[in-house]
Amino acid sequence: MTQIGSPNRKPTVFLLFFAGVLIAFLCLSVIFTYSSSDPIHAHSRSRSTDTCKCAGNDENPPPGFNLGFDPPVLTFYDDPSFGYTFDTPVKNWDKKRRQWLTLHPSFVSGSEERIFLVTGSQSQPCRNPKGDHFLLRFYRNKVDYSRIHGYDIFYNNVLLDPKMVGCWAKLSAVRAAMLAHPEAEWIWWIDEDAAFTDMDFKVPLERYKDRNFVVHGWPREVYEEKNWLGLNAGSFLVRNCQWSLDFLDAWADMGPQSKNHEKWEKILWKTFKHGADDQTALAYLLVKEKEDNLRSKVHIEIEYYLEGYWVVIKDTLKNITDKYAEIEKREKVLRRRHAELVSEAYAKLWEPHLKDAGYGYGSWRRPFVTHFAGCQPCSGKNNPAFSRESCWEAMDKVLNYADNQVLRNYGFTHPDLSNPSVVTPLSFRH
């Protein structure tokens, strides 16, 4: 190493200076190339006639998002009547989104599949002393999943509409995220108390190509039994399009900020014998409509755990871990060390070995999302059907189970899922 004051110092500084000039020159020419191209014409072929989709284009993918470029052409953002809240309706969103993408060509490639995650919790500290600690770990888990798959994520912790309190807050966050992220095709809401427990699995978007809203549940329970517990609003995907904005408007019309709230409270009580919350309201939207436009655009996902109930999942993790370990022991390539950012390549290599595993309930595939519904980690007011301790225990186990899939890329593992503090170096030679 060059010591300060050593005879080598001057030439080194000189060389560094030259390298700096060269890098600055290269950066400038990249920026210049971007801003001097004609974005509208260069990418006009990517325009789609389909009203609910913004087509991407995978030819010549640009090197990355051009984060420093916003042309001075007026867009919906410049319209004085445009707003992020439910009291400022948006019209022609598909066209507006498409125009924005055309003006920002570096975001076009891959936009058809782009997912943006949204989650959140309250603005105040949790009443439960352990609550914030668990929320941090749940959030870390979501950040891990997002990083591995190249998704962006937004954690909201304020009421964007002060009257849309409690579980209703997610609707205003989702709506604002749709408008703030015209580059994303899907907004994925996920509750703060849900964790990704299969870091490899990706939502099968090709299955939803004609759908605009995806939620986990049992279609028969919802449509025939008219049971509001036949779905769970803790994890849902919504396509970033006008249909979805209208759908959210109809959903939010039942919320506490709405002038129609009292009327809806009565209707929801009559229908479900349960108060008005985000989930009864969502169930009502699906139940009341017959074979209409709305149902045909909604997919109630039953085949994998877009959201899974922790009580059902927690005791299956041991056997699932053993199954995966057994396969890994046989298949050397699955034990190969690799950079975290190429994890999806290894997820693909796993697939042939998991073809008999199944998905969701009764399967030995890793459960995709484990949701601690009823545990209320922040308030601590858990469902009396189970003890608070059983919630904490299961959260530790589930979060460490997920963490092990992440930590292995860093060379470590939690040997004991009930102890979040201890890791040991991982051996890749079995």
Ligand X SMILES: *[C@@H]1O[C@H](CO)[C@@H](O)[C@H](O)[C@H]1NC(C)=O
By CB under 6 A, name the binding residues for ligand X: 315-316, 319
Cβ burial, residue 1 (10 Å; 0-12/13-18/19+): exposed
**Residue 362 CB, nearest approach to ligand X (Å):** 9
**Residue 57 or 316 having the CB closest to ligand X:** 316
Q: How many residues does the chain have?
A: 430
**Residue 163 or 318 having the CB closest to ligand X:** 318
> Alpha-carbon distance 196 to 401, whole Å?
10
Interacting residues of 430 by C-beta distance below 8 A, sequence separation 6+: 328, 329, 335
DSSP characters over 71-82? -SS--GGG-TT-
Closest CA to 313 of 355, 354, 366: 366
**Residue 218 CB, nearest approach to ligand X (Å):** 21
**Residue 85 or 316 having the CB closest to ligand X:** 316
**Residue 278 or 396 having the CB closest to ligand X:** 396
**Residue 315 CB, nearest approach to ligand X (Å):** 4
Phi, psi of 388 (to 5 degrees): -60, -40
Name the closest residue to ligand X (Cβ): 319
**Residue 396 CB, nearest approach to ligand X (Å):** 18
**Residue 87 CB, nearest approach to ligand X (Å):** 49
**Residue 334 CB, nearest approach to ligand X (Å):** 22
**Residue 101 or 317 having the CB closest to ligand X:** 317
> Alpha-carbon distance 223 to 384, whole Å?
29
Q: Would you give the DSSP letter of residue 59? A: S
Contact 145, 199 (CB under 8 A): yes
The 3-state secondary structure of 286-298 reads: HHHCCCCHHHHCE
Q: Would you give the DSSP letter of residue 160? A: S
**Residue 316 or 390 having the CB closest to ligand X:** 316
